[in-house]
Amino acid sequence: MAEQDKKFTVIPTEELEKLKASIEEIRGLLLQKQTNEALAHYIPSEKARQILNISRKTWFNLRQAKKISYIKVGKAIYIKREDLDLYMNAHYVKAAKEY
């Protein structure tokens, strides 16, 4: 592109700062959306325990005995939704009589 073909637009500094702030806000929202989508497949440990309706001690023992898979990031523990479903399905008790 030749020098004479370049076009420039002049905008006030205040408007430029607003535009920069908007871009940063959009960037933050996109990052948050990506994080939420990534975590959508995982359940926090406490929520998984509540779903199973078991005590904290029983939940701890299940994890320690590796009877249910989990992910530990720092101090946070997450359970894959599919692993929780597998665990629950493995403990499914079928009715003796169908209605």
In this model, does residue 34 exceed pLDDT 60? Answer: yes
Tell me the per-residue pLDDT of 45-74, one tens digit each, with 9 for 90 and over.
999 999 999 999 999 999 999 999 999 989
Percent of the chain with pLDDT over 90: 70
Q: What is the pLDDT of residue 36?
A: 77
Polymer length in residues for the chain:
99
pLDDT at 85 over 80: yes
> Is residue 5 scored above 90 in pLDDT?
no
- The CATH number given to 41-93 is 1.10.10
- Report strand pairing: 42-44 vs 71-73: unpaired
CA 62 to chain centre: 23
Q: Would you kindly state where each structural domain of the chain is located, as residue ranges?
A: 11-40, 41-93
CA–CA separation, 18 vs 27, rounded Å? Answer: 14
